[in-house]
Structure 1
Amino acid sequence: MDFDELTAVARQIVTSAQRRLPVELRATAEAVPVCYEPFPNDDILAEGWEPDILGMFVGHPHLGDLAEGAPLPPQILLFLENIWDYAEGDPAIYRDEVRLTYLHELGHYFGWDEDEIAARGLE
């Protein structure tokens, strides 16, 4: 699949995942922008992230304190070419991994650590 196709599928998966969230989380989750990128950019790599990272949450968490200086707005980044590579070109695995990565990063937005994310089944 090319990047436009990967993006179209990912948008559908994210929308579907949002619809399945508990009602008390849904509106807040839908308000967090999701950015679809092929790969992490040079700034992300310069921060020490691995080039094959699948996604990340940036900005201040929901109900968290604003960062000092000029904070990034909260957003979820999904690196679609990396997810496609991780799925080894299998569309079903790609769809599942987009959903899992989105939910994992959404958990970070809600301020949950890795254990809390796992306890909620968002890993």
Structure 2
Amino acid sequence: MSALTSIAPSVDEMYLTAEKCFADLPEFMRKAAGDVRILVMDYAEDETLDEMQIDDALELTGLYVGIPLTLESVTNPSEYRPLVYLYRLPILFEWAARGDVTVEELVTHVFIHELGHHFGWSDEEMDAKLEEDD
């Protein structure tokens, strides 16, 4: 999908954007991320929203599910592959409301943010890192 198009990407197109983002990461980050799975859905499931005490499904653009690398060990490995969810419709609503980024940029931002949780970074640490880059 072209960055200049105003057509909303499909689930498959959004997945390909996240895969490209992953492929473009520095090698050391790709290795550290290991076999993180990416799943794109239109919205988070009701159970997920309830667990997170979120009333409006449009408020959740992405979610990391897994054990952060900082908490795993050889003697305490995770039984499940880590998973990054991207929620298509909330991302598209944010994109439309903002108007200052492409869909690809927003998908990349959400994906990197959720991948940051896999590396053990808190929201506050990620925000600080983003502010340093500005």
TM range (shorter): 0.7 to 0.9
Aligned-residue RMSD, C-alpha: 2.9
User: What is the percent sequence identity of the aligned residues?
Assistant: 22
Which of 65, 76, 97 lines up with 1:58 in the alignment? 65
What TM-score do you get using the length of structure 1 for normalisation?
0.77
Deviation for aligned residue 1:18: 1.4
The one-letter code matched in structure 1 to 2:62 is G
Deviation (angstroms), 1:30: 5.5
Name 1:9's counterpart in structure 2: 13
Change (3 A) 1:113 1:37: same
Provide the aligned length of Structure 1 versus Structure 2: 117
For structure 2, the 5+ residue unaligned runs are: 1-6
Contact 2:17 2:107 in 1 (8 A): yes
Give the structure-2-normalised TM-score. 0.71
Tell me the SS of whatever aligns to 2:57: coil
Larger Rg: 1 or 2? 2
Residues 1:84 and 2:92 aligned together = yes
Preserved contact between residue 33 and residue 74 of structure 1 (Cα < 8 Å): yes
